[in-house]
């Protein structure tokens, strides 16, 4: 039925006005909420210390559970700006802790100093460990890009077994960036999504907060890939990134609930990640298996896992967005969803 049949007395001019009115009503019913600009501004403030290439801006996205929604997109460099990453591998079994990084084992953080390298056979109960020259005490480490590529791959080159793996930031192209596409408004904390697909989130300084490091795969080749004292190391595909949150990230922006600690970053599902401990140094109470809980204001947030746990987050409670190498790519997080 044509509109003239319903409103025969409107006339052409009035019908045009009525059509415009209907269009405006339809637009207003699907418009972005008025507070989304304020939300974007708060997100920009979180990343005030990051090297931002572009964003944050609104984009359409498909989350890990298939929900189509509005996300924010931010493209950043992995340069932490406030400190220089490293060191990772000591050069001699005589070196002190300041010459190396840290290693995670059984929930504890261990300094990777010369003594630690020397004692690996005893530490792991396996005499095949020998990361140093027994005559000179020099530590075997990957000192070139080619060595990093050979030792850091899943099937470690046999020539680099029993090496300390050290990939340097300068091995990653200067123009390399990562784009994070994260729900503008996080969903209700009702699920448990793995962090191994998208990572845990992004820190306030723009560095990726990754999922657990594949420690078993590293150790099976008698290699050690230490993290620096800030919990980070370099992967040639994602650049410098964190597998642990240490004191280096304790000075982030103030969270909406200051008593719960400073904000470390934003999780890939949009919920804030706060420091491991509360502001008074106490352990947060009633954390779920993903390391999160609901605060006094009724909103959900995470607390970063203990540095030695190899789990910044246990899981993601809501649907996650995407980490992208191409800033112009469209986020469809279902494309990388693990098979049942």
Give the C-alpha distances (Å, rounded to integers) separating 155 from 145, 160, 218, 222, 314: 17, 11, 9, 12, 27
121 alpha-carbon distance from chain centroid: 33
Q: Decide: 53 and 26 in contact? Cβ < 8 Å.
A: no
Helix (H) or strand (E) holding 322: strand 322-324
**Separation of alpha carbons 34 and 9, rounded Å:** 37
Strands 272-274 and 52-62, sheet pairing? unpaired
What does the pLDDT read at residue 336? 64
pLDDT tens digits, one per residue of 271-293? 999 999 999 999 999 999 999 99
Give the chain's residues under pLDDT 50: 1-34, 338-340
Best CA proximity match to 39, nearest among 60, 56, 19, 23: 56
pLDDT tens digits, one per residue of 229-273? 999 999 998 899 999 999 999 999 999 889 999 999 999 999 999
Any residues with CB less than 8 A from the CB of 312 and at least 6 apart, and which?
Answer: 195, 200, 201, 209, 210, 211, 242, 243, 244, 245, 273, 291, 304, 305
**Separation of alpha carbons 243 and 323, rounded Å:** 16
Q: Decide: 165 and 223 in contact? Cβ < 8 Å.
A: yes
**Separation of alpha carbons 263 and 281, rounded Å:** 15
Label residue 296 exposed, middle or buried (CB < 10 Å: 0-12, 13-18, 19+). Answer: exposed
Helix (H) or strand (E) holding 31: none
Q: Give the number of other Cβ atoms within 10 Å of residue 281's Cβ.
A: 7
What does the pLDDT read at residue 23? 40
Strands 68-76 and 178-183, sheet pairing? antiparallel
If you compute the radius of gyration of the chain from its CA atoms, what whole number of angstroms results?
Answer: 25
Under DSSP, is residue 41 helix (H, G, I), strand (E, B) or coil?
helix
Write down the domain spans for the chain. Answer: 1-31, 36-340
Best CA proximity match to 187, nearest among 268, 253, 291, 258: 268
**Separation of alpha carbons 51 and 48, rounded Å:** 8
41 alpha-carbon distance from chain centroid: 21
Any residues with CB less than 8 A from the CB of 272 and at least 6 apart, and which?
Answer: 255, 256, 263, 265, 266, 301, 302
> Which strands, in side-by-side order, build the sheet including 239-242?
232-235, 239-242, 208-209, 201-203, 263-267, 272-274, 300-303, 292-294
């Amino acid at each position: 039925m044509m509109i003239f049949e319903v409103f025969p007395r409107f006339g052409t001019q009035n019908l045009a006005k009525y059509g415009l009115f209907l269009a405006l009503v339809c637009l207003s019913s699907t418009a972005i909420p008025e507070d989304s600009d304020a939300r974007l501004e708060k997100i920009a403030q979180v990343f005030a210390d990051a090297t931002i290439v572009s964003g944050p801006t609104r984009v359409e996205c498909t989350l890990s559970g298939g929900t189509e929604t509005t996300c924010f997109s931010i493209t950043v460099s992995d340069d932490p700006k406030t400190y220089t990453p490293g060191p990772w591998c000591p050069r001699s079994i005589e070196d002190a802790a300041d010459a190396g990084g840290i290693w995670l084992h059984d929930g504890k953080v261990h300094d990777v100093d010369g003594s630690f390298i020397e004692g690996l056979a005893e530490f792991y109960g396996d005499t095949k460990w020998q990361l140093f020259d027994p005559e000179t005490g020099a530590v075997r480490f990957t000192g070139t890009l080619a060595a990093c590529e050979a030792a850091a791959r899943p099937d470690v080159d046999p020539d680099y077994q029993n090496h300390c793996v050290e990939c340097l930031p300068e091995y990653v192209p200067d123009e390399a960036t990562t784009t994070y596409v994260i729900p503008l408004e996080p969903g209700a904390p009702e699920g448990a999504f793995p962090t191994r697909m998208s990572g845990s989130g992004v820190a306030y300084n723009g560095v990726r907060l990754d999922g657990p490091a594949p420690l078993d795969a590293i150790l099976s080749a008698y290699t050690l890939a230490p993290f620096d004292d800030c919990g980070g190391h370099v992967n040639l595909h994602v650049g410098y990134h964190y597998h642990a949150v240490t004191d280096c990230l304790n000075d982030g922006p103030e969270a909406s609930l200051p008593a719960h600690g400073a904000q470390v970053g934003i999780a890939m599902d949009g919920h804030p990640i706060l420091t491991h401990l509360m502001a008074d140094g106490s352990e947060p109470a009633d954390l779920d298996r993903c390391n999160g809980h609901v605060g006094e204001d009724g909103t959900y947030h995470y607390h970063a896992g203990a540095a030695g746990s190899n789990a910044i987050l246990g899981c993601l409670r809501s649907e996650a967005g995407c980490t992208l190498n191409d800033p112009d790519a469209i986020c469809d997080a279902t494309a990388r969803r693990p098979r049942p």
